[in-house]
């Protein structure tokens, strides 16, 4: 029990550190949980502790979110931004409900797939980061609705663990004309309804098994995810504005490669 508690804390920290950077938080905690021997009934832990990361971004962006909501009734730009985030959220909401069982019972249980997707995603992210183009958008609030919808469909690729929700949305936004900072920022805002929706749906589907040790581990994971995510959210936008995404691409390739070798060696 103690080892599971320690693992829950480690995985919570890992969730918070990786949720908003394009390296796949789910892929990381699934692989880490696999090697740590962490048991998660219904794979609820991996989804529900994301609430900690949601609370972190709400805390960091509270004043800006409130300002957007206050401006929405009178300011067309604020209304368009709210609409863009909701439009981008819709594809994941619909596909996620229908594919939930397959994602949790098949994709979440395939460590080799996760490792491969980390590597492939790293290569794609490295290519996109090195492209020399003049961005059409430098503010997330300026993304038009058709662009937001396309980002929403691209986000659905992250239902394959190892792809990365933030990675998919950031790459999608970059390819559609956003600069590096606004791509990350739109990904932050899109994370709120997407992760909250996943949390609520998974909580509903797994309510019968969330008790005792499983619930305790989730609480521990939530707290550590919140604390570590606060650090990342405050740091990330400044970093990518000056340095881009190459660091995260190489990290993905390294983690995926090491995991692939370890999985092959184990069996």
Q: What's the pLDDT tens digit per position in 52-100?
A: 888 888 888 889 899 998 999 999 989 999 999 999 999 999 998 888 8
* Rounded-to-integer distance, Cα 23 and Cα 174, Å: 16
* Rounded-to-integer distance, Cα 233 and Cα 184, Å: 10
CA nearest 110: which of 160, 154, 158? 160
Other residues' Cβ atoms within 10 Å of the Cβ of residue 165: 26
| pLDDT over 70 at 1, yes or no | no
239, two tokens:
């970093």
- Digit-coded pLDDT (tens) for 99-126: 888 888 888 888 999 999 999 999 999 9
Place of tokens 């990342």: 232
Mean pLDDT over each residue of the chain, to the nearest integer: 90
- pLDDT computed for residue 36 by the predictor: 87
* Rounded-to-integer distance, Cα 185 and Cα 187, Å: 5
Prediction pTM value? 0.88
Average pLDDT in the 129-155 region?
Answer: 94
| pLDDT over 70 at 194, yes or no | yes
| pLDDT over 90 at 218, yes or no | no
Average pLDDT in the 181-199 region?
Answer: 90
Sign of the dihedral through C-alpha 108, 204, 222, 5: negative
Instruction: Locate the domains of the chain by residue range.
Output: 2-266
| pLDDT over 80 at 49, yes or no | yes
């Amino acid at each position: 029990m103690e080892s599971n508690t320690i693992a829950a804390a480690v995985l919570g920290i890992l969730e918070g550190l990786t949720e908003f950077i394009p390296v796949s938080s789910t892929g990381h905690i699934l692989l880490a949980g696999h090697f740590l021997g962490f048991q998660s009934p219904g794979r609820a832990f991996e989804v529900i502790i994301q609430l900690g990361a949601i609370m972190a971004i709400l805390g960091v962006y509270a004043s800006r979110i409130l300002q957007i909501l206050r401006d929405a009734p009178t300011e067309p730009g604020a209304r368009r931004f709210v609409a863009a985030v909701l439009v981008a959220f819709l594809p994941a909401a619909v596909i996620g409900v229908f594919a939930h069982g397959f994602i949790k019972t098949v994709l979440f249980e395939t460590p080799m797939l996760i490792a491969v997707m980390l590597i492939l995603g790293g290569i794609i992210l490295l290519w996109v980061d090195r492209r020399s183009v003049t961005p059409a958008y430098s503010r997330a609030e300026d993304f038009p609705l058709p662009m937001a919808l396309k980002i929403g469909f691209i986000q659905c690729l992250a239902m394959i663990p190892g792809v990365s929700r933030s990675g998919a949305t950031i790459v999608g936004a970059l390819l559609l004309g956003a600069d590096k900072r606004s791509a990350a920022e739109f990904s932050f805002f899109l994370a709120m309804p997407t992760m909250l929706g996943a949390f609520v749906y998974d909580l509903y589907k797994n309510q019968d098994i969330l008790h005792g040790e499983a619930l305790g581990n989730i609480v521990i994971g939530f707290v550590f995810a919140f604390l570590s995510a606060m650090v990342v959210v405050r740091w990330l936008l400044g970093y990518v504005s000056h340095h881009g995404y190459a660091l995260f691409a190489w990290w993905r390739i390294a983690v995926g490669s090491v995991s692939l070798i370890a999985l092959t060696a184990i069996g």
